[in-house]
Chain A
Amino acid sequence: MMGTAVAARRRIDWTGLFFAVVLTLAIIFPLVVVGTWAFANVWRYPAVVPQELGLRYWYATLARADVWTSITMSLSLSVMVTLISCVICLPAAYAFARMEFPARNLLFFSFLAGQAFPKFGLLVAIAGIFLGLNLIGSFWGVVLIQLVGTLLYMIWIPVAAFQSVDRRMEEAARDVGASPLRVFWSITLPQAGPTIAAAVLLSFVGTFYETEGAWLIGAPAIRTMPVLMISFINNQPVIQYGAVLSVLLWLPSFFAILFARRVVNSGSFARGFGG
């Protein structure tokens, strides 16, 4: 029996290994290539590895004013869009999760509509309206268009989070004297917190990387990091500029993931609301 068990443990899972290799090639390899380009001072064909590694293009990229403007712009837009999305969507999600009102299901599914049609067509139609409202090329125009993109995450995920909170917990809080608002703050929100935090992070990162809306509505006055990167890739013969900007663009999602791990795993989110 033991011999069989040992043999079973030693058997190689070829299917798993195959998928691991494919995923590594598909995900890790492109990242490694871009990362290498960002730190390559000289890398000419047919060399497999760079002839010279260094930070030359980092200095060059970070010395450009338009890069810093785009970083500030992207962060401002992401923070603003995420905040507004929280203010609008979280109460709406709570209403969808807990209240009965006419056309509830129709309204709920309407948030899928934005994703159900080709996005660019939708953006062009909205751009036509924004033109009339003088919102083209403005910060708030881009905020509005990017807000549309967050609705799906910020409604559907929190609705599921609120629905999964045990109603008896809320009733127990009211039973000991908490008002409905206090129940929401001290019980419902901390219980739904980790899931909502994930939605907020998705919203932030999604907004940070959003390109089409920012380009169509914001150009030429508003240049976010992804828009700038596209312009670098299209207009710059030097690959390293685009690669450095790509690595810079990874940073928000990297920190977002670190933050998410810390917040969701430690339970500090729940404790943060007191009780």
Chain B
Amino acid sequence: MSVLDIQNVTKQFGLVKAVDSFSLTVADGELVCLLGPSGSGKSTLLRMVGGFESPTGGVITIDGEDVTRVPPERRPTGMVFQSHALWTHMNVFRNIAFGLKLRRLPADEIKRKVDAVLELVGLGGYGTRQVTQLSGGQQQRVALARSLVLEPKILLLDEPFASLDQHLRERLREEVRDIQQRLGITTLFVTHGQDEALALADRIVVMRDGATEQIGAPDTVYREPETPFVAGFIGTMNLVEGTIGGGTFRHAGLAVPAPAPDGPATLAVRPEALDIRPAAGAGMAFIHRVTDYGTHALVDIELPDGLRLKAMVPEARDWKSGQAVDITPRAYALYRDNSVIHRSAEKND
């Protein structure tokens, strides 16, 4: 049972608040992703949990024990760094065994544990290799093994796949998820990759300017973003500024039902929820470009005022540049003052 509890944690660097009254509880065995753009405070928060930064205010507890002022070497956490941070003057075995030696375990037990964790991360027999001889993916596995071998209560992953290529990143994140679930280890994972967060997390915390923008299951965060920022940050989203009047949102010929008080609003609609059809008459918009991705195509549509929207279609060949089209948002949300004022009955899927 390992529960991480972060309560009202704040970190101030001079006049800048990197993290602002942040609270989160990570349940036993849960994998939570901190997701946000650069400078949103997610890495600072992770470093505070790891003990590498001291909070300006607030409390961090692990299994009820206050670790806010405990130095990193005495915390039950294990951190995997973005740059791997392997010790290049040691081979793979010695990198992993270093923490065990510090705990003065017998040599045969150290060997048994290192061999086991190397097998776990798929690097059995690599103990004698120099870390500089390994590929980026292998180095990241060694970094993971180095943390896992100490059986930490909380595993902290700081953008561990950022330096890897797309293919390797996808493979490694699946492996990390498998290992995490097999060991049932409570994990806090920092990333700015939304696909990574959606694929890995039990819950996602979207951060902005050091504060929480939304916390929820990946599905909820994707389909029901609570703020325009989350809507725009997770996946591709068309955001249209317009006005609600008489129960209808309007913008340059685009009109959708909006049972909400009159006033300015932001319409959010995903490309897959924006239906397009060939214009019956003059057409309300024109196709600017069609991009074929093989499995689907993205159509850039230009509204009369120059605003461009994206619509996802199954076939590129059905559409061509300059073609007049009519558009209808099928599933959408309307935002005002940074919160949802209306969500259509049909959800994004």
Enumerate chain A interface residues (CB-CB to B < 8 A). Answer: 166, 168-169, 171-179, 182, 186-187, 190-191, 193, 267, 270-271, 275
Chain A residues in 8 Å Cβ range of B99: 176-178
User: What are 11 residue pairs bridging A and B, where the CB atoms are less than 8 Å apart in the complex?
Assistant: A168-B83, A172-B143, A175-B79, A175-B147, A176-B73, A177-B150, A178-B99, A190-B87, A191-B87, A270-B89, A275-B98
List the B residue with the shortest CB-CB distance to A267. Answer: B89
Q: What's the least CB distance linking A208 to chain B, in Å?
A: 29
Enumerate chain B interface residues (CB-CB to A < 8 A). Answer: 50-52, 71-74, 77-79, 81, 83, 85-90, 94, 98-99, 102-103, 143, 146-147, 150
Chain B residues in 8 Å Cβ range of A271: 89
Task: Determine if A166 and B83 form an interchain contact, defined as CB atoms under 8 angstroms apart.
Answer: yes
Task: Determine if B85 and A172 form an interchain contact, defined as CB atoms under 8 angstroms apart.
Answer: yes
Bound-state CA distance A88–B275 (Å) is 74
Chain B residues in 8 Å Cβ range of A166: 83, 85
Task: Determine if B85 and A275 form an interchain contact, defined as CB atoms under 8 angstroms apart.
Answer: no
Task: Determine if B78 and A275 form an interchain contact, defined as CB atoms under 8 angstroms apart.
Answer: no
In this complex, the member of B72, B143, B150 whose beta carbon has the largest number of chain A beta carbons within 10 angstroms is B72
Bound-state CA distance A270–B91 (Å) is 12
Q: What's the least CB distance linking A175 to chain B, in Å?
A: 5
Chain B residues in 8 Å Cβ range of A168: 81, 83, 85
Task: Determine if B85 and A169 form an interchain contact, defined as CB atoms under 8 angstroms apart.
Answer: yes
Task: Determine if A179 and B73 form an interchain contact, defined as CB atoms under 8 angstroms apart.
Answer: yes
List the A residue with the shortest CB-CB distance to B146. Answer: A176
Task: Determine if B72 and A175 form an interchain contact, defined as CB atoms under 8 angstroms apart.
Answer: yes
Bound-state CA distance A182–B99 (Å) is 11
Known: A182-B102, A186-B98. A175 touches B77 (CB 8 A): yes
List the A residue with the shortest CB-CB distance to B71. Answer: A174
Bound-state CA distance A37–B87 (Å) is 51
Specify which of A174, A191, A267, A275 is in contact with B72 (CB 8 Å cutoff).
A174
Task: Determine if A187 and B73 form an interchain contact, defined as CB atoms under 8 angstroms apart.
Answer: no
Smallest CB-CB A-B distances: 10 pairs = A176-B99, A270-B89, A168-B85, A172-B85, A174-B72, A177-B102, A190-B89, A175-B79, A168-B81, A177-B73
Chain B residues in 8 Å Cβ range of A187: 87
In this complex, the member of B78, B81, B89, B103 whose beta carbon has the largest number of chain A beta carbons within 10 angstroms is B89
In this complex, the member of B50, B99, B143 whose beta carbon has the largest number of chain A beta carbons within 10 angstroms is B99
Chain B residues in 8 Å Cβ range of A270: 89
Q: A173-B87, A176-B150 are in contact. List 6 more A-B contacts (CB 8 A).
A: A169-B85, A169-B87, A171-B81, A172-B85, A193-B89, A275-B89
Specify which of A178, A191, A267 is in contact with B73 (CB 8 Å cutoff).
A178
Q: What's the least CB distance linking A116 to chain B, in Å?
A: 35
Chain A residues in 8 Å Cβ range of B72: 171, 174-175
Q: What's the least CB distance linking B7 to chain A, in Å?
A: 23
Bound-state CA distance A93–B135 (Å) is 34
Task: Determine if B89 and A191 form an interchain contact, defined as CB atoms under 8 angstroms apart.
Answer: yes
Q: What's the least CB distance linking B179 to chain A, in Å?
A: 18
List the B residue with the shortest CB-CB distance to A275. Answer: B90
Q: What's the least CB distance linking B282 to chain A, in Å?
A: 60
Bound-state CA distance A179–B51 (Å) is 13
